[in-house]
Structure 1
């Protein structure tokens, strides 16, 4: 059951990252959490907590719908920030570096948000 939840996150995570790149400032934190979830040294309880936050980030049906420009990711940011704080002991510098390296690698096209 727990493995199924993590597998679903793994399937949907990178497409969502590519979709929101450049639109959400907490993306490096979400990616670092993803790498912490995959780390074999992270305890199962922490992995499941992280998976829950990432599942919330992945689903378009949440407290504030993601389609609302400008406000749609506020609740997602709060969930990611809360879990990042709660699981900070398991989010290692190597996870943060992997996230930063991925974002700087050019593997995704960063779409700039339009100026208002």
Structure 2
């Protein structure tokens, strides 16, 4: 995936666009994560990013980057459609990794702890 494309996806959002993406992410995140879990080796980081994005104490620019990446992740049609077995989440992984790398200093231990607990609950529910 081209660097320019990732930059376009993670570009700053307007207030209304940020709210719209947050609503989409809140609604679709867990269902999408369950589908993609085996294809994303850093799922705990993604979930920590989710909690960071929803944290009102996170700076708006950081929230915007994370919400843009997470919205791209939860949308089924993107550069590589998610339903393509083995390939569908490769572009999502690239976008998520770029976003998480750029904001990693803002993902706090509380976000990581919440992620670990949530993933344990997801695994327990799947069993």
Unaligned runs of at least 5 residues, structure 2: 1-15
User: Within 2, Cα distance between the matches of 1:107 and 1:53?
Assistant: 27
Q: TM-score, normalised by structure 2?
A: 0.76
RMSD over equivalenced CA pairs, Å: 1.8
- CA-CA distance at 1:40 after TM superposition: 1.8
2:103 corresponds, among 87, 92, 109, to 87
Q: TM-score, normalised by structure 1?
A: 0.82
Unaligned runs of at least 5 residues, structure 1: 111-116
**Residue in 1 aligned with 2:63?**
47
State the number of aligned residues: 110
Higher relative contact order (CA 8 A, sep 6+): 1
Greater Cα offset, 56-65 or 18-27: 18-27
- Larger fraction in helix: 2
User: Within 2, Cα distance between the matches of 1:95 and 1:70?
Assistant: 29
